[in-house]
Structure 1
Amino acid sequence: MRPLGFEARTIPDAADLIREAGLGGRVGFAVADALTGEMLEVVNPLYPLPPASVAKAVSCAYALDRLGPGYRFRTRLVSDGVLSEGRLDGDLWLVGSGDPIFDTDALAGMAQQLAAAGVTEVTGRFRVATGALPEIWQIDPGQLPHVGYNPAISALNLNFNRVHFEWEREGEDYTISMDARSASLRPAVRVSRMRIEERTVPVYTYTDAESHDAWTVARGALGNAGSRWLPVRRPAAYMAEVFQTLMADQGVRLSSPTYETAAPETALVLVEHTSAPLDEILRGMMRWSTNLTAEVIGLMATQAGGTRPSSLPESGAAMGAWMRERLGARNVSFVDHSGLGVGSRIRPQDMTHALINAGPSSRLRNLMKDIPMRDEGGNVIENHPIEVVAKTGTLNFVSTLAGYARAPSGRDLAFTIFCADMDRRDAIPEGDRERPQGTRTYNRAAKRLQQALIERWGVVFA
């Protein structure tokens, strides 16, 4: 008969798995019993590394604690005027609350409801209230200007603050469009404008033209046809312009918008759009890793704690203080809430302690997504005995994973695995930052290592 523990002794050591992965840089991990908190195995547990999008798990817990799972964002149309026979004598206000998943279809619904209420004319000004959140130009200044996952942040957010750019060759020229595309609508916009230039690189350039976002694109990079989402730097103006267009479709002309901090407290609510509850929004954020959602809910949570931040690093510092107080972290620092900024740092052991304190049956665990185990060909292994729910994170030469694994015995493990080669990341030329050479190979190897470690723990600590 095989001796007791024979199978566990045949599993490779963690050090062997890390060496075989050949990642370079540094690997740190910490795995513990999620119920008792007993730390089971660690490598570099106290070395702070970039969490990438694993930071969203912290932001998720932060928002649930400060705002509550049932919190809803409310976008309103209000007026201090009088409505009589279709004529609104007074100003019409569009009031934002920071809703991160608000889209053109929702805005069109508000325009339709206003028209259905009988409004056919607005005699006053069209005013936009932007004071619910600070206006932040972009999440991470270190990103390339055209990446859609690095938009501005505002009290009024539309289509994740992205504009849809589309082009199609017609003879020797191109037809181009910039629109606020949704599932059913494509209203054109002027707050973001594109010009084709005769060059090959850079593919895109951006200039702040004071009244609009001025983009150029290299003709040599376009091909016959295509499209992509570009970030919006003026989200309040973006939403205001689209709303004017949608109201014009209803036969109501609005004046050019003016921007204020808040609408009068005595203003009457004409139309209100209410978002899904926060826990549903967070489930989408954890699944799709939407940076804008993470930043909005992080800023809102900081404000709910009594601090009015003016920047993401300031709000990130507040979240770090909360994590130390509520989740037992000792050495953390955040420059944002999404993990997009590579300057954030968490020690693997601190992240694992946070998962333990949140609990293996907590709302946080329930909001995480299933991470399937895969074979050497990358195919999902059906009915794998280890069940994993976690948050992934990926930056150039950074790959992270943190969450819970349930062993075949039913034992719950909390784990954090951070992989980062900061020297290779720092050496990336500026023009190659969107798809640098070697980063896909690194990411695949890191993910194989993460799975191998989880499989090891599922046997050794079952």
Structure 2
Amino acid sequence: MTFTRRWLLGALLAGVATPALAEAPTRSPRPLRRGGAAAPPDASDLVARAALGGAVAYVAVDAATGEVIEASNAALRLPPASTAKAITALYALDRLGPDFRFTTRLLATGPIENGIIQGDLVLAGSGDPTLSTDALGDMAAKLKAAGVRGVTGRYVAEAGALPAISAIDPEQPAHVGYNPALSGLNLNFNRVHFEWKRAPKGYAVTMDARAERFVPPVAMARMEVVTRDLPVYTYMGGQGSDSWTVASSALGKAGSRWLPVRHPETYTAEVFQTLARAQGIDLPAAQVVRVRPEGRTLVEWQSEPLREILRDMLKYSTNITAEAVGLAASGEASLAQSARAMSLWANGSFGISAEFRDHSGLGGRSRVSAADMASALAQAERRGLGLRPILKTLEIGGAKGRRKPGQPVTVAAKTGTLNFVSGLVGIASPSGGRDLVFAIYCADRTRRDALTMDDRERPPGMPEWTARARGLQRSLIERWAALPA
């Protein structure tokens, strides 16, 4: 399970706020030089040099005491992007526990006689965002080992564990793989693999649910190559089906990409039916339901513990994982209600005033200030809530790649990127210095709001803007590491 899940991920491209932080100044005073050492660059100079436009907000605090080291626009509420996943991780750990596991089951509603279930076979989901085709293949093999060859009744796909959500953020382009649907049955992060090759007449295309060991074809997602320039993709959803077209001028000789799945319960059910057939198990077309039939468990598949799921979520920034664990933690009937429940939990637990519209940060309407995010992380750190060990770690500064060696800083952090929005939050540990909790947000909302839907996947100027924002974030952390304690 572990290796397959990581392979799939690789394919993706209680208390109150610390008073000192809650009352953080709009700008911090210029720090004093260390004895005999050159003062680090002034923060305002670093911001001006980045030339990002819009707003830059940041705060750095002593992790042990909550003392504000430096801050600017700390109370300004900006989109958190994927840094929201840090709060989602804390929320899920609190509500579900670090050892929680998602479980997918195969149930029989009647006895097995001569290899035939006298009743229905139920594929029962729990909302597992990490379920893979390889896991379904192993479940089919176990079903065969249990002596099952067919059913007298129905093949049922039960998807009621989570609400049915057609897309995380409706303001994203239809074809981007990081904005899939969700349900109680999810598979391969709810993406389908589209591959094309130029043929003597047009293109040969395939749609499949590939993992590492199994590559079953998929019929519920269809692709047609159309002679045109724009739009590159169009989408039309049917009853349990996804119909796509793609512009021939965009394809070239050959290639592939992952597309989102909008009917994940149908997708999962079809893939299991195909894998079961390969094991000699004959199943009829699936019937999707949202209420689980009573039955005896024949096979079950468990995810890794929640702590490991969250570690991968924070490393790879998988949106579907954030939404699934957030929805599982809240038990609410919609994404909006679930995000509201998480906001109330965060605000009550840490004495902050954040507003989350989802659990992943994919939508641009969530709002949090640098002061509030840093306060939440600082309190979580002092309470030992277990976030730092699952954050992605990196080292900045030091001699590597620098003409003048600086002070190495180990950083456990979560990044966040939307169009013309960039965030970095976490804990910085300078070599030989004090631990710092920080939050940095950069956002040019005017430029972001002006984008057309066609520009939102690859906006002009976005790579350069993001590179400058990340450079500023790195420079600020290096500056804070160099300040006197």
**Which residue type is aligned with residue 220 of structure 2?**
V
1:146 matches 2:162 = no
Aligned positions, number: 453
SS of match in other structure, 2:90:
helix
2:364 corresponds, among 313, 338, 342, to 342
Q: What's the Cα RMSD here?
A: 2.0
* 8 A Cα contact 2:240 2:266, kept in partner: no
1:49 matches 2:78 = yes
Stretch moving more, 18-27 or 5-14: 5-14
- What is residue 440 of structure 1 aligned with on the other side? 463
- What is residue 233 of structure 2 aligned with on the other side? 204
1:78 matches 2:107 = yes
- What is residue 108 of structure 1 aligned with on the other side? 137
Superposed, which structure 2 residues align to 1:344-423 within 5 Å?
344-359=366-381, 362-373=385-396, 385-423=408-446
SS of match in other structure, 2:205:
strand
- What is residue 276 of structure 1 aligned with on the other side? 304
Query: C-alpha deviations, 1:59-85, integer Å up to 9, x for none?
Result: 000000000000000000001201122
User: Runs of 5+ in structure 1 lacking a partner?
Assistant: none
Query: C-alpha deviations, 1:212-264, integer Å up to 9, x for none?
Result: 11100001111000000000000000000111111111112111211222323
Shift of 1:123: 1.0
| Structure-2 change in CA distance of 1:415 and 1:186 (3 Å) | same
- What is residue 333 of structure 2 aligned with on the other side? 309
Shift of 1:204: 0.5
1:156 corresponds, among 185, 197, 203, to 185
- Give TM-score scaled by structure 1 length: 0.94
Shift of 1:6: 3.6
* 8 A Cα contact 1:70 1:279, kept in partner: yes
- What is residue 169 of structure 1 aligned with on the other side? 198
Query: C-alpha deviations, 1:399-423, integer Å up to 9, x for none?
Result: 1000000122331110000000011
User: Runs of 5+ in structure 2 lacking a partner?
Assistant: 1-31
| Structure-2 change in CA distance of 1:421 and 1:380 (3 Å) | farther
**Which residue type is aligned with residue 287 of structure 1?**
K
Shift of 1:362: 4.2
1:188 matches 2:217 = yes
Shift of 1:208: 1.4
Equivalent pairs: percent with the same residue?
Answer: 51
SS of match in other structure, 2:185:
coil
Superposed, which structure 2 residues align to 1:218-233 within 5 Å?
218-233=247-262
**Which residue type is aligned with residue 157 of structure 2?**
V
**Which residue type is aligned with residue 337 of structure 1?**
H
- Tell me the distance in 2 between the aligned counterparts of 1:379 and 1:166: 42
| Structure-2 change in CA distance of 1:74 and 1:4 (3 Å) | closer
SS of match in other structure, 1:181:
coil
Shift of 1:38: 1.4
* 8 A Cα contact 2:407 2:478, kept in partner: no
2:478 corresponds, among 445, 455, 458, to 455
SS of match in other structure, 1:332:
coil
| Structure-2 change in CA distance of 1:36 and 1:187 (3 Å) | same
Stretch moving more, 53-62 or 362-371: 362-371
- Tell me the distance in 2 between the aligned counterparts of 1:7 and 1:336: 49
Shift of 1:428: 1.6
Shift of 1:381: 11
**Which residue type is aligned with residue 44 of structure 2?**
A
Stretch moving more, 403-412 or 236-245: 403-412
Query: C-alpha deviations, 1:341-369, integer Å up to 9, x for none?
Result: 00000011000000111016541011100
* 8 A Cα contact 1:74 1:99, kept in partner: yes
- What is residue 268 of structure 2 aligned with on the other side? 239
- Tell me the distance in 1 between the aligned counterparts of 2:406 and 2:71: 28
* 8 A Cα contact 1:374 1:380, kept in partner: no
- Tell me the distance in 2 between the aligned counterparts of 1:8 and 1:447: 26
- Tell me the distance in 2 between the aligned counterparts of 1:241 and 1:247: 10
- Tell me the distance in 1 between the aligned counterparts of 2:403 and 2:86: 24
* 8 A Cα contact 1:131 1:261, kept in partner: yes
| Structure-2 change in CA distance of 1:206 and 1:328 (3 Å) | same
* 8 A Cα contact 1:8 1:460, kept in partner: no
**Which residue type is aligned with residue 280 of structure 1?**
E
**Which residue type is aligned with residue 253 of structure 1?**
D
Query: C-alpha deviations, 1:5-58, integer Å up to 9, x for none?
Result: 246662122111111111100000111011111122110011100000000000
- What is residue 333 of structure 1 aligned with on the other side? 355
- Tell me the distance in 1 between the aligned counterparts of 2:407 and 2:283: 59
Shift of 1:309: 2.6
**Which residue type is aligned with residue 224 of structure 2?**
R
1:289 matches 2:313 = no
| Structure-2 change in CA distance of 1:101 and 1:380 (3 Å) | farther
